[in-house]
Structure 1
Amino acid sequence: MFAYILALASVFSVGLAVQDQTCRPLFQLGVVETEGGSVQGTNVRLGLRRSMDVFKGIPFAAKPGTFEKPKPHPGWTNTLKATKFAKRCLQKSMLQTSSFGVEDCLHLNIWVPHGLYVSSNLPVMVWFYGGGFLAGGSMGPNFFDNYLYGGQEIADRGDVIVVSVGYRVGTLGFLSSGDSQLPGNYGLWDQHAAIAWVHRNIRSFGGDPDNVTLFGESAGGSSVSYQTLSPYNKGLFKRAISQSGVAMCPWAISRNPRNVAEEVAVKVGCPTDDKMVACLKSVNAKKLVMAAPLFVSGSPDKPALNAMVLSPVVDGDFLPEDPVRLFHNAADIDYLAGVNSMDGHLFTSQDIPAIADKGNITVDDVTALLRFYTKDKGQAGLEAALAEYTAHWGPSPSQDQVKITAVEVGTDHYFLAPVQTAIYLHAAAAKSGHTYSYLLSEPSLLIGPGRPYHTWVGADHADDLQYVFGKPFTTPKAYGDAQRDLSGYFISFWTNFAWTGDPNVGKSKVPLTWPKFTCSEQKYLEINSKMDRTSVGQKMRSRFVHFWTNTLPNLPSVKY
């Protein structure tokens, strides 16, 4: 013990000597030089032998023009004190009655962990937030004083650099006229600009520009998917993680953007002819934001998630073709993707409120939901869907059976089948890239006596976020040991993947081996707090995936 103390004292004496020579402690970066100028963050002590540099609000591009691609930032003269979060990108409030945020929002945040020496050549993980391409942000608290996307736990436990990024959403990020006049995808271009900035500058922060991993959830997961498919990102990152969202999700791509553009034009007093785009560009940004179509509560015959119409488009540029034909661009990217077991619960509960308030629902509610999802195939589509989803009901299905089926329909249609499609296409096109698939099945924390959810509710949409970002460690009183275990598993798998492209191999121990996904075996890992050797599955919900990806599309379409 005495020898250890002497050795530690020796290390600190060396640290003091370095501090005298360089005016900074041994375990912090101090002032960092970037292409825009000098930046200085905040150093946080995590313990005797660990610390972290946190940089907030570094601009990676200039204030964007309305419906323009991002441009390089002009830079700054004095050292930028990167100690406060920037403001979110301009967007509608949750109640959709006002707006908040700013146009000058293309900033990023960086967490850099250190041991006894300043870190160098660390893997980098770049985070894209969700919010349906309509809202969201990684700048400061997400609700009340709770900052969900803090990178400290991931960075510290996995020994990686974490970067979170701001990008335009809603009208300013994704409005498109469907042609070259207003091509859209401005939010995706913002993300690309941030990725390119990280590639050019992260070495100054101790990161390895040749080992960058993108990760994101929901619309952020779909954004990650789009970034892997675009030809503009070649060589800028090495790995990618999509949580509950890919480019194939029906809500993640707009097939008829012109209709939405004309609706916005009418609301702001612009014509819908060849003068529409010029007029839209002259309109006040806040007015444009408020003109976005309302996201309304749904019903079985008109689901709420279908109202998310401001999404990426096939623009012939960032996305040269339909996403299903662009997987050759991801052939050398390691890809990890998956869903939550009841991703559809949050949304189906809006369409059928009795699911949320524990009232009774009818078979007709499920039928109406399936009729909407299969409407392009008419009666034949509906009958095929009913045959698949009610086969296990028997003559008198229970309320729980009917409700679970409704949630499964939403989960499969909006999330699970599209994500499995993307995973399969990636594996089929892969050259050096590896593919991994997962299903989070941890029961929701909102079930139990006095809590709002039914006891059968599994992992709802966004339930994964708290575990990925280590909330059970930062707010321990709100969680138990099982949730801390699960959070540790997530961080270990995710950061190992960032280190090596293999979630099993890296700096962190994992509870079991996660097999690769191949087109022949289609293995996946079921993630929860009680994982064991039975947690490896095969061909996730293959019967229902086959229905949405093969049976239904091959039925003849109905003309209206």
Structure 2
Amino acid sequence: MMAKLGIFIALAVFLETVSGASLGVVTTEGGMVQGQNIRLGSGRYMDIFKGIPYAARPGRFEKPKSHPGWDGGLYSAAILLCSCLSSETRGSEDCLYLNIWIPQGSSVSSGLPVMVWHFGGGFLVGGSMGANFLDNYLYDGQEIADRGNVIVVTLGYRVGTLGFLSTGQSDLPGNYGLWDQHTAIAWVHRNIRAFGGDPNNITIFGESAGGASVSFQTLTPHNKGLIKRAISQSGVAICPWGVNKNPRKFAEEVAIKVKCPTDSSMAACLKMTDAVTLTMAGTLSLSSSADHPLVENLLLSAVLDGDFLPDEPHNLFHNAADIDYIVGVNDMDGHIFTSLDVPSINSPLVHTPIEDVKRLLTSYTREKGKAGLDNAYSTYTSNWGSNPSQETIKKTIVEIGTDYLFLVPSQTALYLHASKARTGRTYSYVFSEPNRMAGIGKPYPSWVGADHADDLQYVFGKPFATPLGYWPWHRDVSRYMIAYWTNFARTGDPNVGENSVPVNWPEFTDGEKFLEINSNMNNNYVREKMRLRYVNFWASVFPSLPTVVSE
């Protein structure tokens, strides 16, 4: 009897092993590629391709060019290749590669929605797989692909000086990193069918500078017909750090650091400079204060080049009229930035003077002078009473940073997208799951909500991939976000797809509704008119004040 049982078990294991589907060798425009196939569970498999080149090694300060291919040979896409060179100095100029995850069942998948990830990092740092801890990469697409039954693509793009340095003229036009992203999206559109994807159902998504990148990709005229949907997490093109209006000033500062002239021969000299030296010359200074906040140091970003961005971003939303769009923020996105500007906010034992609120607001409202400061200060202190607590003062500083850097621009982008939309739907959210380090005896005070980048671990399913590091309710949050995100990628409606969701998420156009996402969700978490008083101040009252200092 035991012998027969053993035979049945062996047979079952054998059938399970051979029944799983795999793409095997895939033919792309560059040649044949082979990844790896892994078993996830009963009847569930995953094809993974890492390090597929989507363009040739880029020329210095040039648009990417087509990859020449690998004549007749088989390209092994089983290992990660170099990230783009950044101020962390790791990486290479030869870095335009992407990674693909394809879920498989008993038969080879076809016609799957495709989700293309754009990493964040202030346009200065980052890579296609993100931070790595014990071989657990932040942007590993396996959990999203498996749980959402979608194809996930992560791409590398040039960052720092090599990705965004510009003189504002044709000799150094800038936006090379954005051109990389566009080239990767176009490659996916042309090749993803061979991997089981639907080229007509591509969703691009990203966070922080990646969220702004997603926004830029929907606004440029060069992506017409390539993108079906988009998700911007904590960043849009019209954020105050999204576009550098005076790129030449920073280009000259970099040139001086690397001993290049600042005259008409500057661009030629910079092109000949060692890549690491050039990259380190564009490193972000983390020294900041309420008088000179960190945002003022974010000088490598997109530029109005007359090509990728032919106009100011707010004038380009007609290009996104047929793209479904989700835009959202974390409820304390500004915390990590304002805690560098005003370090006392993180210490319950250190006094934060009201003067620090005024100093930060003075920095943010400098172009409008005293009228700007007075209006902003009265807006943010109207509910303080005569004797505000230290917690109130500290939280107000975080709210100011969150509103100015992320929330108000995101709401403005939602208004603009909705106003120009033809077939494109618009959805708004705020993510409010408290930071896991907040609490007594930990780095953050107990009142800290969702800090910048706190959403990433949930979108990429870390509570499932590394369960010992999380509580059960964290898996709830992750399940909700993956469901909303992948349903949206599949149908354009985050409520409709292959995954059930805890709360119906209405469109933004339905009374400026938004969804608050956390572990305790119910119908009370559908709200409307996100922080309307503050959005109205920054988007309407503040711009109407007379300008006294030019940018």
* Structure 2: distance between partners of 1:140 and 1:369: 31
**What's 2:144 paired with?**
154
Q: Is the contact made by 1:264 and 1:293 (CA closer than 8 Å) also made in structure 2? A: no
**What's 1:59 paired with?**
53
* Helix, strand or coil at the partner of 1:108: strand
* Structure 2: distance between partners of 1:547 and 1:557: 15
Choose from 48, 67, 81 the match for 2:76: 81
* Structure 2: distance between partners of 1:11 and 1:213: 37
Choose from 56, 63, 66 the match for 1:72: 66
State how 1:508-547 maps to structure 2 within 5 Å.
508-518=499-509, 521-547=511-537
Choose from 378, 381, 390 the match for 2:381: 390
**What's 1:3 paired with?**
none
Deviations 1:532-557 (CA, angstroms, capped at 9, x unpaired): 11111111001000111111111001
Question: Which stretch shows the higher mean deviation, 350-359 or 228-237?
Answer: 350-359
State how 1:37-436 maps to structure 2 within 5 Å.
37-77=31-71, 78-93=73-88, 99-139=89-129, 141-143=131-133, 145-358=135-348, 359-436=350-427
1:141, CA displacement in angstroms?
4.2
Task: Output the TM-score relative to the length of structure 2.
Answer: 0.96
Are residues 468 and 262 of structure 1, via their aligned partners in 2, closer, same or farther at CA, if it must alter by over 3 Å?
A: same
* Structure 2: distance between partners of 1:378 and 1:186: 35
* Structure 2: distance between partners of 1:137 and 1:92: 12
**What's 1:549 paired with?**
539
* Structure 2: distance between partners of 1:48 and 1:436: 35
* Helix, strand or coil at the partner of 1:354: helix
**What's 1:483 paired with?**
474
* Helix, strand or coil at the partner of 1:463: coil
Task: Output the TM-score relative to the length of structure 1.
Answer: 0.94
* Helix, strand or coil at the partner of 2:41: coil
* Structure 1: distance between partners of 2:260 and 2:287: 28
1:453, CA displacement in angstroms?
1.1
Residues paired across the two proteins, number:
541
Q: Is the contact made by 1:53 and 1:111 (CA closer than 8 Å) also made in structure 2? A: yes
* Helix, strand or coil at the partner of 1:118: coil
Deviations 1:95-123 (CA, angstroms, capped at 9, x unpaired): xxxx2210000000000001111101100
Q: Is the contact made by 2:120 and 2:208 (CA closer than 8 Å) also made in structure 1? A: yes
* Helix, strand or coil at the partner of 2:163: helix
**What's 1:21 paired with?**
none
1:559, CA displacement in angstroms?
3.7
* Structure 2: distance between partners of 1:372 and 1:378: 10
* Structure 1: distance between partners of 2:139 and 2:360: 34
Deviations 1:103-155 (CA, angstroms, capped at 9, x unpaired): 00000000000111110110000000000000011246435643110000000
* Structure 1: distance between partners of 2:212 and 2:114: 19
Deviations 1:16-50 (CA, angstroms, capped at 9, x unpaired): 5xxxxxxxx65001011111111111111011210
**What's 2:3 paired with?**
none
**What's 2:5 paired with?**
none
1:293, CA displacement in angstroms?
4.5
* Structure 2: distance between partners of 1:174 and 1:141: 22
* Structure 2: distance between partners of 1:210 and 1:12: 37
Choose from 1, 24, 34 the match for 2:28: 34
Q: Is the contact made by 1:517 and 1:524 (CA closer than 8 Å) also made in structure 2? A: yes
* Helix, strand or coil at the partner of 1:494: helix
Q: Is the contact made by 2:16 and 2:42 (CA closer than 8 Å) also made in structure 1? A: no
**Counterpart residue identity of residue 313, structure 2:** P
Q: Is the contact made by 2:20 and 2:45 (CA closer than 8 Å) also made in structure 1? A: no
1:410, CA displacement in angstroms?
0.1
Q: Is the contact made by 1:87 and 1:139 (CA closer than 8 Å) also made in structure 2? A: no
1:290, CA displacement in angstroms?
1.2
Deviations 1:163-209 (CA, angstroms, capped at 9, x unpaired): 00000000000001011221100000000000000000000100000
Identity of aligned residues (%): 62
* Helix, strand or coil at the partner of 2:514: strand
* Structure 1: distance between partners of 2:271 and 2:132: 30
* Structure 1: distance between partners of 2:287 and 2:277: 23
Q: Is the contact made by 2:87 and 2:283 (CA closer than 8 Å) also made in structure 1? A: no
1:297, CA displacement in angstroms?
2.4
* Structure 2: distance between partners of 1:10 and 1:345: 53
* Helix, strand or coil at the partner of 1:355: helix
* Structure 2: distance between partners of 1:476 and 1:188: 35
**Counterpart residue identity of residue 82, structure 2:** K
CA RMSD of aligned residues (A): 1.8
Structure 2, gaps ≥5 residues long: 1-7
**What's 2:4 paired with?**
none
Question: Which stretch shows the higher mean deviation, 283-292 or 238-247?
Answer: 283-292
* Structure 1: distance between partners of 2:497 and 2:424: 17
Q: Is the contact made by 1:85 and 1:140 (CA closer than 8 Å) also made in structure 2? A: no
Structure 1, gaps ≥5 residues long: 1-5, 17-24, 94-98
Q: Is the contact made by 1:86 and 1:139 (CA closer than 8 Å) also made in structure 2? A: no
**What's 1:468 paired with?**
459
* Helix, strand or coil at the partner of 1:155: helix
Q: Quick check: 1:445 aligned with 2:467?
A: no
Are residues 168 and 210 of structure 1, via their aligned partners in 2, closer, same or farther at CA, if it must alter by over 3 Å?
A: same
* Structure 2: distance between partners of 1:132 and 1:14: 45
**Counterpart residue identity of residue 231, structure 2:** I
* Structure 1: distance between partners of 2:129 and 2:470: 25
Are residues 559 and 51 of structure 1, via their aligned partners in 2, closer, same or farther at CA, if it must alter by over 3 Å?
A: closer
